[in-house]
Amino acid sequence: MIKHIVMWKLKNAADASNFKAQLDTCRQLVPGMLAFEVATSTAGLEANCDVVLYSVFEDSAALAAYQNHPHHQQISSGLGVLRDTRSVLDYET
């Protein structure tokens, strides 16, 4: 399994719910996607990012299919203008 974790710091934290809603349209986009969860920071809890994506893929081929899917590419391009920074960690379990 490949876990794919991405965290974004947005230029405007008020855009977080819209950012999340757009990312949520990528749920179940490709076969081999086993988990997909998008969350936004919660007031009163520690956070140094505004949005996080936790996803799990059957294998690296499923992750590549997700990353190269036209819908994912479109969403990523549109959201890119809203972000200040992006951090990612992919790892195998």
pLDDT tens profile 17-32: 999 999 999 999 999 9
Domains and CATH numbers, the chain: 2-92 (3.30.70.100)
pLDDT at position 72 is: 97
d(CA 13, CA 30): 29
d(CA 45, CA 28): 29
pLDDT at position 6 is: 98
Q: How does pLDDT run across 13-69, given as a tens digit for each residue?
A: 999 999 999 999 999 999 999 999 999 999 999 999 999 999 999 999 999 999 999
